[in-house]
Amino acid sequence: MIKNGARFSAPVMGEEALPMEYPKRKQIRLTNYDYSAPGAYFITICTHERCCILSQITVGEQLAAPETSLSAIGRMVDEQIRSLPARFPNLTVDRYVVMPNHIHLLLSLSEAAGAASCSLRWYP
C-alpha cells in the first residue's frame, strides 16, 4: 500500500516504480502561536517547483527601475489578492508583490469584524 504524500521514483527498464518519501521540511511555525490572532503577517507563497509563471521582470537601462508585467495567471492571482478583504472583513492587505515565481504579502488581521467569524485554513 502506498502512503499518502508518497512520490514514485522513475522506474529503470524492467523495474516497477518504487514509492519515494518527500524530504522532511523544517517546521518554521511557532508551535503554540495562534495564527488567527490579530496582528501583521508576512507571507511568501511559491509556485510549484518555482516555475516562473506569474510575471516577467524587465530590467531598465542604466538607472531605470525594473518593470514587472503580469502573466494571465499573475493577473488572476492579483485579482484574488485584491478580493481578499471583501471575502474576509477582518483582513487587510497592506502590501504585496507578485514576482515571477512567488508572491510576498503583508497582511493584517483585526478583531474589528470578529476574528472568530472568519476562519482561514492553513495546511502544513
Domain that holds residue 38: 33-111
Tens of each residue's pLDDT in the chain, 124 residues? 444 444 544 444 555 555 667 677 777 788 888 888 899 999 999 999 899 999 999 887 888 888 889 999 999 999 999 999 999 999 999 999 999 999 999 999 997 544 444 555 555 4
Number of domains the chain is built from: 1
Indicate the burial class of 71 (C-beta count within 10 angstroms; 0-12, 13-18, 19 or more): middle
| Dihedral sign for Cα atoms in the order 48, 53, 55, 58 | positive
Residue whose grid cell is 504524500: 5
8 occurs within a structural domain: no
61 occurs within a structural domain: yes
What CA–CA distance (Å, rounded) separates 47 from 26?
19
Please state whether the predicted TM-score (pTM) of the whole model is above 0.85. Answer: no
45 occurs within a structural domain: yes
CB atoms within 10 A of CB 109: 20
7 occurs within a structural domain: no
19 occurs within a structural domain: no
